[in-house]
Amino acid sequence: EVQLVESGGGLAEPGGSLRLSCAASGFTVNNAWMTWVRQAPGKGLEWVGRIRSKSDGGTADHAASLKGRLIISRDDSKKTLYLQMNSLKTEDTGVYYCIAGADRLDYWGHGTLVTVSS
């Protein structure tokens, strides 16, 4: 069974940093492209970015609107996906979902809540 378990969310101050993790299991993680999507409270879905499998280059594409503040990486030895969040803004508040898949978002984690507030 595919499982994606996000962690690392919580309360952070504006200008601060957080690193979200996503532990993946139940599929061949190192072959999978992975995606982060976020959802502000009461709002719709926003694509944050995706990362290729190592065999496809291992590089990431990010939403330009995030201006390099949110960076995706992976550690296949730990079967873990990361989202490094820097220079946090109040508008980064929301639930962050880890997803197995890139074009077709097949499997979603339950999400982790990030609150940016002073």
Partner 1 sequence: DIQMTQSPSSLSASIGDRVTFTCQASQDVRNYFNWYQQKPGKAPKLLIYDVSNLDTGVPSRFSGSGSGTDFTLTISSLQPEDIGTYYCQQYHHLPYTFGQGTKLEIK
The residue ranges that bind partner 1 (CB under 8 A) are 37, 44-47, 49-50, 61, 63-65, 97, 101-106, 108-111
Give the DSSP letter of residue 91: G
Of 33 and 93, which CB lies nearer to partner 1 in the complex structure? 33
Q: Give the distance from CA 23 to its chain's centroid.
A: 11
Give whichever of 41 and 77 is closer to partner 1, judged by the CB atom.
41
User: Residue 113 has which token pair?
Assistant: 């809540």
State how far the Cα of 114 lies from the Cα of 19, in Å rounded to an integer: 10
- Closer to partner 1 by CB, 14 or 97: give it: 97
Closest distance of CB 37 from partner 1, Å: 8
Least Cβ distance, residue 30 to partner 1 (angstroms):
22
The rounded Cα 63 to chain-centroid distance in angstroms is 12
- Residue 106 CB, shortest distance to partner 1, in Å, is 6
Cβ closer to partner 1: 77 or 104? 104
**Contact predicate 71/84, CB 8 Å:** yes
The least CB distance from residue 96 to partner 1, in Å, is: 11
User: Residue 24 in contact with residue 106, Cβ under 8 Å?
Assistant: no
